[in-house]
Structure formats: C-alpha cells, structure tokens
Chain A
Amino acid sequence: MIGSRSKTIVIWTFVAIALILLSAPTIVVLGASFTAGNMITFPPQGLSVKWYGAILGASDLRQAFIRSLIVSAICTVVSIPVGTLAGIALAKYKVRFEKAIQIYLLLPFTIPLIGSGIGMMLVFGNMGVLGQLWPVGIACCVINLPFMIWAVTASASNLNEDLELAAANCGAPPLQRFLYITLPAVLPGVITGSLLMFILALNEFLVSLLLVDARSVTLPVQIYNSIRSIITPDLAAISVVFIVCAGIAITLLDRLVGLDIFLKSK
C-alpha cells in the first residue's frame, strides 16, 4: 500500500509533467514572438513587439486571417440549426438507424481527414465552386458537426420530458414549447458546440489546404506556405494571435455556460 501522502506526491508530479508538456509549445511560441532578433529562437534575443507590428502590416496574413474568420463564421452559422435539431432529435426520440448515427458521431476520430478532404474536393470541384470561401466553411461544418451534436445531446439528455408536457399543460402549442422550453434547456450545449465549431474551423488546416486556391488561402494554410520559405518570428506572432482567439473563446464559454458543462459533454 502506498501512503496517501506519497500517493499525493505521485499524482501531483504527473499533473505537473502533463501541464509542462501541454504548455511548453505555447510558452516557446509566446517567447519567440517577442524576440528582437530576426530568427525564431527560444529563449528570445531581447524583447520587442516589432513582429506584431510586422504581421499588422502584412496584408497577406491579415487577409488570410479575415478569410479564416469568415470560414469559421459560415461553419458556425450552418452548424447551429443543423446540429441543434439533430442533437435534440437524437436525445429525445427513438431514432431509426441509431447504430449508424452513433458510428457517424465517431467519424472525426476514425476517418483520416485527408480522406474526407479529398471527397469534398471532388464534390466541390465538380460543382465548380473551389476557390470560394463558403465551400471551406461547409466542409469544416461537415467534418466537425459531430462535436456540435454531442454538445447538444449532452444538455438535451438533462431535459426532463415532463417539462414539455408541463408547458403544453400551461397552454403552449408545439412551436412555443420548443422555443420557450426545449431550446433554453439545450442552450448551454448550443453555445458550447458553436464555440467549439468556430475554433475548430479557425484551426482547420488539412481540409482547407485541399479546398483553397491562391485567392482563398486561410490562415493556417498561409502559415504553412510561409514555413516552407523562411521561418521568421512573425509566424510565432501570428500563432500567438491564434492562441489568443482560442483563449477568448474559452473565456466566453466559461462566462456563458461554465467550463464544467464543456468538459462534461460527452
């Protein structure tokens, strides 16, 4: 038997190692972005914010970033109604083909993205819409939708079915029951799912790579293109901007619904 004291020490050691491993890349990038030198190095050589000035001035990076935001917005806006309705339906009703749907919900972890990416490249290519931004948004929505559905079903399964009956008993017709009772009950899940969808689309690299051309490069692809030429600290700075975006999303989530819900959603 291990004493509870030494057990605590072991557990905390593991936690510390995990935290270091998880945060090390972020810290390295953060440090490198403030370098005064012209090389990406850690620890940084001197401190300056000149690389942040540089990315502000770099119109290609800025435009790629704006394109990424548009893609994320499209992805999120499409996923909200689809994911919410699908999530509620899955939680509330005995749906046919439940097995098939469960397998679909596992897809993001099983199918290599390159596979779905190529599939969508063919579809959108045939439609002749490659090079526009909305196909990228739709593609991100399709591959990440299971996350949205999960978030919604997790809060919908807390929905006591008597609540809708009670609303009916109070005189609410079906649409009002949905709007006033069902929707607010799953709202935390919808918020969680939306932020998740937004961040995932903002970060999506592989599928974007397959679907963009020179006119519609998104930020992750733009960064990738730059790495292939020369690695300068402005890439570290733009990575920090990314991290800040994710940080804002997490903070919003915590403020709006609390992180415990986010972590609980299966």
Chain B
Amino acid sequence: MNLSNGARESAAAQAAVSVKNVSMRYDDFYAVRDASFDVPKGKFLTILGPSGSGKTTLLRLIAGFGKPTSGEIFIGGQPVSAVPPHKRVIGMVFQKLALFPHMTAAQNVAFPLKMRRHDARTIADQVERYLELVKLGGFGSRRIHEMSGGQQQRVAIARALVFEPDLLLLDEPLAALDVKLREEMQLEFRRIQKELGVTTINVTHDQREAMVVSDEVIVMNDGLIQQRANPVTAYRTPQNAFVANFIGVTNFLEGPATSVSGNEVAFRCAGHELSGISVGSGPEIKAGMSCSGAIRAEQIRVAAAPEKLADLTFRFTGEIIDAIFEGERMVYEVNVAELGGVSFRVFDHDPIGHTQFLPGERVLVGWNPKDMHVFGNNHSPN
C-alpha cells in the first residue's frame, strides 16, 4: 500500500502537470467534474470537446486564474493552489490572443522578460531569437493592429515561449483563423513544440486539429473527461458513443444486444441480427441492454453490384438521398430501408474509377463487423 502510493507519487513527479480530481463549480453548476490526468514531460496533449464542455475552465485553473472548488493541480510535482498566476512559470496563448495593444510586437514579446528583470541585452537577444523562431524576424517594431491575424498569432506564441516556461497552454488560439492559415499554424505549433520540447496543453473543439497536432487527446463533454488516448486509439476505438460521434463522422444503429461473448456482441436492428461486433472500450454490455452500434462513414462501402461488396459481412440495400462532391471524395447520404430507414453518411473515395451515384439510385452499402463498435445506451448519441 505504502509502496504503491510512493510509486504513484514518483510518477506524478515525472509528469510536468498532474491534475487530480479537480472540480470547478459556479453556483450549482459544475463546469469541470472530477477531472484527473497527467501530462508527461515534453508531450503535446489536446483537450478536445464541444463549446461549453469546460475546456477553458480547466486550462485557466492550470494557469492559476481561479482555484478549483475541489482537487489539486501539481506542476513539476508541486501542488500549486497557493501559487498566484504570476509565480507559475507557464506560457499561455489566449483564445483572443490578449496581446497588449499599446505595445509593439517586440515589446509584447519582451514583457515577460522585463517582468522577470532580465537585463536589456538578454531581453533584446531573446526577443530577436523568438521572433525569428516564429518567423517574424524584422517585424518587431510593428504595432499589433498593423499585423495580420496570422502574424498576431505568432507574436502571441513568441510571448508565451520567450521566457522558456516549463509548460505551454493554448486556448483555441487558432479558432479565429481561416482554414488554410489554421492548418498551417497547426503544423507550426507542432514544429515549435518539437523544437523546444516544451510540455503543451492545447484546447480545441476542432477534432482535426486534435488529431494532427497531439501526442495524446482528452475528449471532454459536460465537464467530464470522456476518454484519454493517443489520436489513433481515440479514433479507432472510441470509449463511448459521445467520443465516436464527436471525432470523425459516425453512423449509429440502435437496438438491443442479443448475445455477448468475450469481446464480441451481437445486436438486433430492424429484424436483422448483426453479430461479431467488437465491444467498445466503455462500460460493460449485457444481453438485452439497449445499445448503439457505431460505424464510420469511411468504413462503409457503397456499390451498385453485390459482387463488389463480396468481401463485406454486412450488406444492405438502400437509396441515395444526397450526393455531395467534395473533390477528393464523394459524400453520400443513403437511406437504408432494410434497417428501418436509417440514414447513413458514407465517404466514397474512388480516385481511379470516378464512380458517381445520383440521388434516387438504388445501391448496396456494406461494412465489416470488426469496424463496428457497440456501446451500451446510457445516453444517446447526437
């Protein structure tokens, strides 16, 4: 007992940040409920969740803007609830950047160093180095309002990193940028983070961003952590229906479980028995329990001729309701009458044959049981 406690504590000491049973209550509303996680040194963790799920609240607690209602946060192994924000060595990029409008880019970047009483020479060198790092060399004398959105973004990053903090917090700093710039900045974050090796906690509602930049992802909803995994695991084996639905485009089939054996479940949907389906990594499923089967849009194939789907276990006929051309792929909405008229979203990549179905066409949709995940229905998806 003592030993295992000691082992746990040393694990926490190695973690750059360790959040233990943290809850945050506003009046009688919990913005964060009993959150616990560690971030290993040098890792890039993303907290992913819809708006209002408590991401910002959690991040601000780590930065020290407010105390958790209960629980404790450890930074570098030390509890920090008694440490005011200006004494925590944490860099942060705010959602609305919060650059100081009356200062130039260089003055913004110099501010953390000035507050730490470095001498003028060091400050000048360091500011130049970090403006260089974010590719803003020569822009130092610009005023903030004279810079584009992407440039302001970079100033904010430089300001958060210039004092070489142990921890970097990013609160959806890319949300306001247009898609192209956002994707470019995501890679930029990744590059800088790798280059400096700074432990980073990023917050976003953009599942693509979470996948692209992170070593690990925490999915949050309603103040509760839903799953913590690396991006591939979170995508391939979602822990519950919420995660399955929030990351990626997922179709759900509803019905009671008919049998459970080991890691495989069978459940019934509109008179069809779907068997051999993998159990999601969530709560245990018992026969008779109402459940949801989740299948990704890209794991369903669509064809006109049955031979083309010969290698798939489940096949059902349906009708194309909508066909959207997205360049590299087609997105179909298929109504599957055989499964009680559910609508399926299907991604069809056919860069060679360029098959294209039109609304009204009868087609077959098919998929394999191993790609499907079943979750017990405590709460419904969507």
Chain A residues in the interface with B (C-beta under 8 A):
160, 162-163, 165-173, 176, 180-181, 184-185, 187
Contact = CB atoms under 8 A, between A and B. Distances in A.
The 5 closest A-B pairs by CB, nearest first: A166-B98, A162-B98, A170-B112, A171-B115, A168-B85
A168 B60 CA distance: 12
Contacts of A176: 115
Most buried by B among A162, A165, A167, A170: A170
Interface in B83-100: 84-87, 89-92, 94, 96, 98-100
B127 interface: no
Contact of B86 (A163, A168, A181): A168
A173 B64 CA distance: 13
Contacts of A184: 100, 102
Nearest to B162: A170
A190 B63 CA distance: 32
Contacts of B246: none
Nearest to B85: A168
A169 B169 CA distance: 10
Tell me which of B60, B101, B116 has the highest count of chain A C-beta atoms within 10 A of its own C-beta: B101
Nearest to A158: B101
Nearest to B115: A171
B98 A163 contact: yes
Given A162-B94, A162-B96, A165-B85, A170 B115 contact: yes
A171 B94 contact: no
Given A162-B98, A170-B86, 6 more contacts: A160-B98, A165-B98, A166-B92, A167-B115, A170-B163, A172-B111
Contacts of B160: 169
B43 interface: no
A160 to B, nearest CB: 6
A101 B98 CA distance: 30
A187 B101 CA distance: 12
B65 interface: yes
Interface string B185-214: 000000000000000000000000000000
Interface residues of B, number: 26
B159 interface: yes
A169 B85 contact: yes
B98 A173 contact: no
Contact of A171 (B63, B99, B102, B112): B112
Contacts of B92: 166, 169
A169 B102 contact: no
A185 B101 CA distance: 8
B91 A169 contact: yes
Given A166-B94, A180-B111, A171 B100 contact: no
A169 B115 contact: no
A34 to B, nearest CB: 44
A117 B101 CA distance: 42
Contacts of B102: 184-185, 187
A173 B100 contact: no
A86 to B, nearest CB: 22
24 contacts: A163-B100, A163-B101, A165-B63, A165-B94, A165-B98, A166-B92, A166-B94, A166-B99, A166-B100, A168-B65, A169-B86, A169-B92, A169-B160, A170-B159, A170-B163, A171-B86, A171-B163, A172-B115, A173-B84, A173-B115, A176-B115, A184-B102, A185-B101, A185-B102
A181 B112 contact: no
A170 B99 CA distance: 11
B185 to A, nearest CB: 19
A162 B87 CA distance: 17
